[in-house]
Structure 1
Amino acid sequence: MSDRIAHPGLRAKVMTADEAATFVNDGDLVGMSGFTGAGYPKVLPTAIAKRAKEFHDRGDSFSISLLTGASTSAELDGELAEADAVKFRAPYQSDPIMRDKINSGQMKYADIHLSHLGMMVQEGFFGKMDVAIVEVTKILEDGRIVPSSSVGNNVEYLDAADKIILGVNSWQSEELEGMHDIYRIPLPGHRQPIPITEVGDRIGSPYIDIDVSKVVAVVETDSPDRNAPFKPADETSKKIAGYFLDFLEGEVRAGRLSYDRYIMQSGVGNVPNAVMAGLLDSKFENITAYTEVIQDGMLDLIDAGKMSVASATSFSLSPEYAEKMNREAKRYRENIILRPQQVSNHPEVIRRLGLIATNGMIEADIYGNINSTNVIGSRVMNGIGGSGDFTRNAYISSFISPAVAKGGALSAIVPYVTHTDHTEHDVMVVITEHGYADLRGLAPRDRAEKMIAIAAPEYRPLLEEYVDRAGQGEFLQTPHELAHVFDFQKRFVETGSMLK
């Protein structure tokens, strides 16, 4: 038995994953740890999927409602989806098997702002939580737990659940102890200002205290987090990163930013990591990050002395960098803080700190509305994640994307988005490999001119044609030609390309 379980009563509850899975029943609401492929429970989801298949083989029903922090991995979402073990999912997913189940109507999915989910559980919006399954690094003698590589909504799930199953993962570095900052946000009517005024402020405890009497099982594992490696930056990513840095330089020249006062938030992916690679050779120093996830590029900035503090709720590291974090967690915990996502994504703190938010998108329209989640309107790709939390409340909100996808068949700039996640009121800057559109302070028709300028050259005449036709109508504040507003998307469905 692992020496990571110091509490005598919980040592007595160590069992196999198959044994622990029997505490999860048909119809249960289950909260699991996990955020962007980090800190999710290992082996237990597979055991629950196996249990579901056994029920189905007997002709019995078995499905659960599943809540996590954000996306997880194929070991969790994929296994459970393949076993038809999930009837409802929130708040975010990105697994291809689960995506297919959702889009075919076999699974219900609620796309929810990540800062909202913990409070909704506290308030009982989803009903009573039956089971919390949470991965931890260590259990202390008094029953407090050391979180693993993500915090997410673990605190809210552990507090709300009738039963708790802990997964003690000895792959996670014991030196993560001290990196976390656990702070509980009370329900409305009992709240005080969150006392974070600088990115590096620690306001809570390194541990999560739990009701030990609710723990029904402890499962030992030694399995790595399974994040996919990031691709090397291609020319398009490098161009987008270059224009983003040009935008930052323009803010410095305008006196709205200084080289030692850049606070960043970044979505996950290859382009954001290319941006961070560009920052290595920039004039910016003492960079800080108040964000959701710690990515490879942030570790590089910390190693180079360019980033002083990074605050998040989880890691999203390539396998190589995850191993590096495990080896050097003691050093990195001087620069990294992992918080509950109610705190990492909290609008109050985001607004106070004055950070610059950068997120990805599927499409943007000529007036600045953004679709982050759905292809051609109704085919969900993932979820809104925390991009709404940061976009609405950041000092400057920006979106980055290549101008085309699928070999040029899809334009990221369209007359009108088929699904709106971020309205024109919240979107300030949009960047592609053709430049950046600064939309701040502009009326809709002026925004259209800026947006068309950053579209792929082959799509600009079509966008200009649409604007000309829409401008011949009677109402000209935000001109649209309703009969043709979705021509780009309809052409793609009918012909396989948005181009004529």
Structure 2
Amino acid sequence: MPIESSLDALDLSALIRPGDTVLWGQANAEPLVLTEALMAQRHSIGRFRVMLGIANSTTCQLAHADTVDFLAYCGAGANRQLADAGVLDILPVHYSQLPTLFASGALRIDVLLLQVAPADAQGRYSLSIAHEYLLAALDTARVVIAEVNRKAPRTFGERWLSADDLDLIVHTDRPPLENASPRIREADSRIAALIAGHVEDGATLQVGIGAIPDAVLGALGGHRDLGVHSGALGDGIARLMQNGALTNARKTRDRGVSIGGVLLGSRVIHDFAHDNPAISLRSSAYTHDAEVLASLDKLVAINSAVEVDLSGQINTEVAAGSYVGAVGGSLDFLRGAQRSRGGVPIIALPSTAGGSSRIVSRLNGPATVARSDAGLIVTEFGVADLRGLTLKQRRQRLIDIAHPDHRALLDR
């Protein structure tokens, strides 16, 4: 049985050792009282390492690098400040590889911090806002510490936790973190309208995060019997389910259920997912699995990028010298949509950023996605379907969807 502790008496140095690697749920799944206590008590523990996902809080500060080594699979959110200061080490792996890395010990997780919903009548704790790679860490971590948050949504998923899975429990009553709604610009809306034209009724959606995916979901309200199988589920998914456009009725797998790995939104998705069996959170070993994705007919994968070059190579990681993105799951879903019967693999991005073209002659960062995996590239000026095109043909199609002010320079 786990030990129960009050916040005042919480002593993490009794469980965390120097040299340990600590992991917690990313974004709004962060167990905030535990992570804040961890940073406050870091000197009594000794030097340890933290593995970060998307950071929606400011828990981890530059000053904490005096005792903490930070690594992350992405530069999203507050991670960017750490990356720009040179104290964040980047793990350049596909999101789908994280469970295998944890399970094999290649990336050892010693201590897992969780935010869970209170136990039900059967004594089962819900993992609440995130399953994704946490399940693999649960099976290998030496120590599991849980913040049992009365306000955390109780969600259905791949696995329930029992008291035997936990070593220490702290009870809290606080609103979980939330994502602010991204500002949708005119270019985002024009891109969304173009993408909506490539989504058939009955299609299964995978959407990334950010303004364009949100705009796309907002443009699909007139569709029928859509489904979803995605890494993240946000407010736009909840709204489509509420208005009847997204029913999962025609999915060729997990019919009737929206599948995701993490809730990434506001109270809108948290409240909608609470005690709702129509939403199921799964491990990233399932949400990003190649065979699972290939089995979903009409899988439309919609992801964003920093830039695309004239051959179709895609950079999703680095912008203006800063690590802002990730290798992430784009390639997993692009390949899944390529293999899906009737699938549509889409990368969407505005034509410019800060006056610079995002369709470029040469990438300014890594080629996260090889040109051989490119499908449809969408800007507010059109759609370039690169499938089956030669390099010469791709060059012209991509110039045609670049901002008009940059087309002549790209052509030269």
Number of the residue aligned with 1:32: 24
**1:391-446 Cα distance to aligned partner (Å, 9 max, x none):** 2222321111110011x1x2110002131101111110010110111111001110
Amino acid at match of 2:144: I
- Compared with structure 1, are the counterparts of its residues 210 and 66 closer, same or farther at alpha carbon in structure 2 (3 Å cutoff)? farther
The answer as to whether partners of 1:166 and 1:218 remain within 8 angstroms in 2 is yes
Hey, what does 1:41 align to over in structure 2? Answer: 31
- Return the TM-score normalized by structure 1: 0.74
Work out which of the residue numbers 161, 168, 178 in structure 2 matches 1:208.
161
Counterpart residue number, 1:304: 243
Amino acid at match of 1:412: R
Q: State the shift of 1:75 in Å.
A: 4.4
In structure 1, what residue type is equivalent to 2:21? L
Give me the whole-angstrom Cα distance separating, in 2, the residues matched to 1:75 and 1:424: 36
SS at match of 2:139: helix
- Deviation, 1:219, is 1.2
Distance 1:390 1:49 in 2: 35
Report the RMSD for the aligned CA atoms in angstroms. 2.2
Counterpart residue number, 2:253: none
Q: Is the 8 A contact 1:285 1:306 kept in 2?
A: yes
The aligned residue for residue 6 of structure 2 is 15
Number of the residue aligned with 1:278? 219
Amino acid at match of 1:50: A
Secondary structure class of the residue paired with 1:66 = strand
Give me the whole-angstrom Cα distance separating, in 2, the residues matched to 1:62 and 1:92. Answer: 25
* 1:341 is the counterpart of 2:284: yes
1:326 aligns with 2:267: no
CA distance in 1, matches of 2:232, 2:87: 30
Out of 396, 416, 423, the position equivalent to 2:370 is 423
Question: How many Å apart are 1:18 and its aligned residue?
Answer: 6.1
1: CA distance between counterparts of 2:357 and 2:144? 47
SS in 1 for 2:41: helix
Deviation, 1:166, is: 1.1
Match of 2:396 among 424, 434, 449: 449
What aligned pairs does 1:259-274 form with structure 2 within 5 A after superposition? 259-274=200-215
Q: Is the 8 A contact 2:204 2:226 kept in 1?
A: yes
The alpha carbon displacement at 1:290 in A equals 0.7
Q: CA offsets per residue over residues 210-257 of structure 1, 9 Å max, x none?
A: 744xx4321112222323321353211111111112334xxxxxxxxx
Q: 1:20 to 1:158 in 2, by over 3 A?
A: farther
Deviation at 1:121, TM superposition (A): 0.7
Seen in structure 2, the aligned counterparts of structure 1 residues 438 and 341 have a Cα distance that, compared at 3 Å, is same
Task: Provide closer, same or farther for how the CA distance between residues 66 and 392 of structure 1 changes in structure 2, counting only shifts above 3 A.
Answer: farther
Q: Which amino acid aligns with 1:112?
A: V
Whether the 8 Å contact between 2:29 and 2:177 is mirrored in structure 1 is no
**2:255 maps to what in 1?**
none
Counterpart in 2 of 1:480? none
- The SS at the match of 1:45 is helix
Q: Secondary structure at the match of 1:168?
A: strand
Residue 460 of structure 1 is matched in structure 2 by 407
Which secondary structure state, in structure 2, belongs to the residue aligned with residue 425 of structure 1? helix
Matched, 1:352 2:295: yes
Question: Which string of whole-angstrom CA distances, capped at 9 and with x for unpartnered residues, describes residues 82-118 of structure 1?
Answer: 422531413234233x323333433322132111101
Q: Which amino acid aligns with 1:73?
A: N
Query: What residue identity is the alignment partner of 1:66?
Result: V
**Correspondences of 1:40-439 after superposition (within 5 Å):** 40-52=30-42, 54=43, 62-68=46-52, 70-76=53-59, 78-79=60-61, 81-84=62-65, 85-96=67-78, 98-127=79-108, 129-139=109-119, 144-174=124-154, 176=155, 179-182=156-159, 207-208=160-161, 211-212=164-165, 215-248=166-199, 259-281=200-222, 284-309=223-248, 310-319=258-267, 321-322=268-269, 325-326=270-271, 329-330=274-275, 333-354=276-297, 355-376=299-320, 378-395=321-338, 396-406=344-354, 408=355, 410-418=356-364, 419-439=366-386
**Partners of 1:66 and 1:171 in 2: how far apart?**
26
Please give the per-residue CA displacement for 1:439-490, whole angstroms capped at 9, x wherever unaligned.
110011100100000000010000011xxxxxxxxxxxxxxxxxxxxxxxxx
CA distance in 2, matches of 1:45, 1:430: 39
The DSSP-based 3-state class of the residue aligned with 1:279 is coil
Q: CA deviation at 1:365?
A: 0.4
Separation in 2 of the partners of 1:328 and 1:159? 25
Rounded to whole Å, the distance in 1 between the matches of 2:24 and 2:8 is: 15
**Would you say the 8 A contact 2:28–2:179 is kept in 1?**
no
Hey, what's the Cα distance between the residues in 1 that align with 2:350 and 2:11? 46
Letter in 1 for 2:16: V
Alpha-carbon distance change, 110 to 328 in structure 1, aligned in 2, over 3 angstroms? closer
Aligned partner of 1:470 in structure 2 is: none
Give 5+ residue unaligned stretches, structure 1: 1-8, 56-60, 183-206, 249-258, 466-500
Partners of 1:411 and 1:17 lie apart in 2 by 53
Q: Does the CA-based 8 Å contact 1:42-1:75 persist in structure 2?
A: no
Question: What's the CA shift for 1:328?
Answer: 6.6
Please say which structure displays the higher CA radius of gyration: 1
Say which SS state the counterpart of residue 220 (structure 2) adopts.
Answer: helix
Shift, 1:329, TM fit: 2.5
The alpha-carbon deviation at position 362 of structure 1 amounts to 0.5
Deviation of 1:172 after TM superposition, in Å, equals 1.2
CA contact under 8 A between 1:372 and 1:421: conserved in structure 2? yes
TM-score normalised according to structure 2 size:
0.89
Amino acid at match of 1:411: S
* Percentage of identical aligned residues: 24
Summarize the Cα distance change of 1:15–1:437 in structure 2 as closer, same or farther, 3 Å threshold: same
The whole-number CA distance in structure 2 between the counterparts of 1:236 and 1:82 is: 39
Equivalent AA in structure 1 for residue 260 of structure 2: A
Q: In the alignment, residue 343 of structure 1 is paired with which amino acid?
A: Y
Quick one: distance in 1 between partners of 2:303 and 2:197? Answer: 17
Change (3 A) 1:82 1:45: farther
SS in 1 for 2:81: helix
In structure 2, C-alpha distance between the alignment counterparts of 1:83 and 1:209, rounded to whole Å: 33
Secondary structure of 2:4 counterpart: coil
Letter paired with 1:124:
G
1:251-306: per-residue Cα shift (whole Å, max 9, x none)? xxxxxxxx43311110011111111111113xx31100110111111111111111
The number of equivalent residue pairs is 394
